[in-house]
Structure 1
Amino acid sequence: MKKKFKFTLAYQILAGLILGIAVGGIFYGNPAVETYLQPLGTIFISMIKMIVVPIIVSTLIIGVAGTGDIKQLGKLGGKTLIYFEVVTTIAILVGLLAANIFQPGTGIDMSALTKTDISKHVETTESMVDNGLIDIIVNIVPTNIIQSLGEGDMLAIIFFSVLFGLGVAAIGDRGKPVLAFFQGTADAMFWVTNLVMKFAPIGVFGLIGVTVSKFGLQSLIPLGKLALLVYATMIFFIIVVLGIIAKMVGTSIFRLMKVLKDELLLAFTTASSETVLPRIMEKMEKFGCPKDIVSFVIPTGYSFNLDGSTLYQALAAIFIAQMYGIELSITEQITLVLVLMVTSKGMAGVPGASFVVLLATLGTVGIPLEGLAFIAGIDRILDMARTVVNVIGNSLATVVMSKWEGRFDPEKEDTYFAATEKLA
């Protein structure tokens, strides 16, 4: 019997992507495209940002209160951060290795590259560097949680939610009404998420249309080597590095990607991992991971486990050095790794984070900051790839932590995967 075609969310997003590219290409250079299409993308991103904070707060409080034991939570937190540090370090090394082997920045005609204004990123970097890493760590503890919620300061929100969750667990039965309130909030917000996702294809159409109309597909030509290498390295990292980690814990990276195909396509087209955070949390729970582990690992991973971003930062730094004919010694490259390990964590949640991290890092090994202005024009295209890697990396981290804690449910995984296969 012939399988009936279903126009699922993934196909709707793909249609929005193709239409956006077509409209952007046809009306390349026409400012009217941005005028009329940008609001569609902005509204969609705003709707997602609107629901992310309530979901993170409610699910983290439920997860932490559900764990209850501060020792158990500390154990999970310690294991999670060790895993994040190991995988992001591997990502940095893969990026450096790819840049050194394939030399994407050599032989590039600098005059053929279009410069983009990066002054706003420089200002952000200067303020962050002036504050220093110690101040960044100090600012994780919020003085005003309402202000932190309003600004979307993720590290401060996570810190408060964990403490509040422990408080709810500590007061026992008196905390049950509070827990019921946050459980209801989480359930309601997941319903709102499913409603917002229906707007995703229109949002994707607007975002992609504006990007293509602004920069044109030809913007890739002088920087083609970098773009191709970034995408190839990201694919290698997913299939080989994350694939081996998945195999080691008894699952398949391809199975995980198949379950998350809608979310990966949406993350790719919007270049924002925030857009899929609520759905990823919902799906990983259905995939067999316990609610409290999902609620802790994924929001924390959004600040500390950005595999795609760190890989890209390492590769881009070497690319810029090669573009200027600067040879970096092994010592300088090790310094680059160490600096990236710190800055990529310390600047989590900063607007234009990858650029800010690169700006803060390049100077430490004598690479001209101006080089970033040449790759800023195609940063959106590169950002799409690194966002997908970030999403897969955090989803896999949830499975790894669940298995490490001996709490993963393989039957749930098989049942959910089989249900996904039927819908495909």
Structure 2
Amino acid sequence: MKLARPLRLLYVQVVLAMVCGVALGHFLPQAGPLLKPLSDGFIRLVRMMIAPIVFCTIVSGITSLASGKAIGRTIFQALALFYFLTGAALALGLITAFVLRPGAGMHIDASHLDVSILAQYVKDPHPPGIVAFAMSLIPETMSGAFDKGEVLPVLLLSLLFGFSLNYYPESGRPVLAFIDGIAQTLFRILAMIMRLAPLGAFGAMAFTVGRFGIRSVGSLGMLMVSFYVACVLFIALILAPLARLHGFALWRLLRYMREELLIVLATSSTEPVLPRLIAKLEALGCDKGVVGLVLPAGYSFNLDGTAIYLTLASMFIAQACDVPLSAPQIVTMLAVMLLTSKGAAGVSGSGLVALVATLTVIPDLPVAGVALLVGIDRFMSEARALTSVISNACAVIFVSMWEGACDRTRLARVLGATAHGDAKGVEKPARNAPGS
């Protein structure tokens, strides 16, 4: 028996799974936490594919770029854009905190807070310095770059591999053909794994609602509202005008990415959609070399949702604990956040880790105040992840256009066809990508 046509669509299946997960978690809260392995298993399946797919994509992309000068220019433009967007996100979070004042009137004594629940988030008492961060990019062995699934060591190895193939184009042609064949196979495997996305979404939502419950929001609801408002404002006031300036409508891009956004919303993680975004952005007309360089780098250097969270949460703690901050202290805090917001993994809980790292170098703000946020962090991690993944998708398109590496005709045709629901007008994603 075949499913009705709408039910065959992945995003419809994910939505239905989320609704079922919320219902089960609410009415059978004791069963909800038991389903967390469904979400964890799905994320781990996708995560095991990320490193090899990123490697193949970047190597293939570098060989398609004209020269090392073009590669360096692309990386420089991407990093400049990332810091601009991060700075805008930090400023917007700060403004929202000043206007809405989510922690005002709580009068909490930080010495009475239970800090034992922060143990799992305190990995290092201080954020790593530049030298330590640079050393962490270099794996101990070549195969070690793939062991932990971290993107930046794979990015470094891919750059070296791609440059070497460009240096010896004739002898490197069979190697490149082999890598492209591996990439095709990896994307087909990923397409099979993504069929499990509804199951992962069901488990994630059942766990979240069953474990924390709607009541856990409680008196911290104003903080959640403030955070969601700040994320929406960032998308509407920063990303949407930039998209319009570059000749496309952001809402059409969001519709094109709806399956990925729903998966991010359900799993509170940006990692499961990285391979799909690579394929979909290539299908939009962005050069695979630019996509392969900018998107993986953005996953570590352009976490704008986390940046908004850091300023808003820090100011919330200051307001709730009645700690006045001077202008120099706020400027210092923002400078520290420019570093601590980079490299945080796009998974649930990473925001608390970055927040703890920030507060440890701001002596006037009590680290114990982070304990206030643990109960609702899961409800805010979805907005963090959604904001960051939307920002990174836009960044890839912007840099592609700056480099003259974007087929604007295809971009307009695909987004236009998607907006009007004309499936026939949408070209299939490259590399037999999932969802095609």
Look up the match of 1:45.
43
Deviation readout 1:196-218 (Å, 9 max, x if unpaired): 11110111101110111111110
Which amino acid counterpart does residue 422 of structure 1 have in structure 2? D
Q: Determine the C-alpha separation between the residues in 1 that align with 2:16 and 2:345.
A: 32
Gaps of 5+ in 1: none
Question: CA offset at residue 419 of structure 1?
Answer: 3.9
Q: Determine the C-alpha separation between the residues in 2 that align with 1:278 and 1:325.
A: 45
Look up the match of 2:406.
408
1:69 pairs with 67, 70, 79, which one? Answer: 67
Q: Determine the C-alpha separation between the residues in 2 that align with 1:75 and 1:247.
A: 24
Look up the match of 2:353.
356
Q: Which moved more, 1:408-417 or 1:269-278?
A: 408-417
Closer, same or farther: CA 228–5 of 1 in aligned 2, 3 Å = farther
Q: Determine the C-alpha separation between the residues in 2 that align with 1:146 and 1:178.
A: 17
Look up the match of 2:375.
377
2:264 pairs with 267, 280, 295, which one? Answer: 267
Q: Which moved more, 1:188-197 or 1:375-384?
A: 188-197
Closer, same or farther: CA 20–114 of 1 in aligned 2, 3 Å = farther
Deviation readout 1:40-78 (Å, 9 max, x if unpaired): 112211111111111111101111122151111011111
Q: Which moved more, 1:339-348 or 1:215-224?
A: 339-348
- The percent of aligned pairs where both chains have the same amino acid is 33
Question: CA offset at residue 86 of structure 1?
Answer: 0.7
Q: RMSD over aligned Cα, in angstroms?
A: 2.1
Look up the match of 1:9.
10
Deviation readout 1:150-204 (Å, 9 max, x if unpaired): 1123211111111111111111111111111111122112222221111101111
Closer, same or farther: CA 104–152 of 1 in aligned 2, 3 Å = same
Look up the match of 2:165.
168
Question: CA offset at residue 114 of structure 1?
Answer: 9.1
- Answer whether contact 2:306 2:388 (CA < 8 A) is retained: yes
- Answer whether contact 2:271 2:346 (CA < 8 A) is retained: no
- Answer whether contact 1:114 1:377 (CA < 8 A) is retained: no
Look up the match of 1:54.
52
TM-score, L = length of structure 1: 0.93
Structure 2 counterparts to residues 20-419 of structure 1, below 5 A: 20-28=21-29, 30=30, 32-35=31-34, 37-108=35-106, 110=108, 117-122=117-122, 124-126=123-125, 129=127, 132-345=129-342, 347=344, 352-365=349-362, 366-419=364-417
Closer, same or farther: CA 217–351 of 1 in aligned 2, 3 Å = closer
TM-score, L = length of structure 2: 0.91
Closer, same or farther: CA 350–39 of 1 in aligned 2, 3 Å = closer
Closer, same or farther: CA 17–113 of 1 in aligned 2, 3 Å = farther
Question: CA offset at residue 364 of structure 1?
Answer: 2.8
Deviation readout 1:280-299 (Å, 9 max, x if unpaired): 11111111211111111100
Question: CA offset at residue 415 of structure 1?
Answer: 2.5
Q: Determine the C-alpha separation between the residues in 1 that align with 2:269 and 2:60.
A: 25
Question: CA offset at residue 348 of structure 1?
Answer: 5.3
Q: Determine the C-alpha separation between the residues in 2 that align with 1:299 and 1:370.
A: 33
Closer, same or farther: CA 181–285 of 1 in aligned 2, 3 Å = same
Q: Determine the C-alpha separation between the residues in 2 that align with 1:409 and 1:247.
A: 16
Secondary structure in 2 matching 1:176: helix
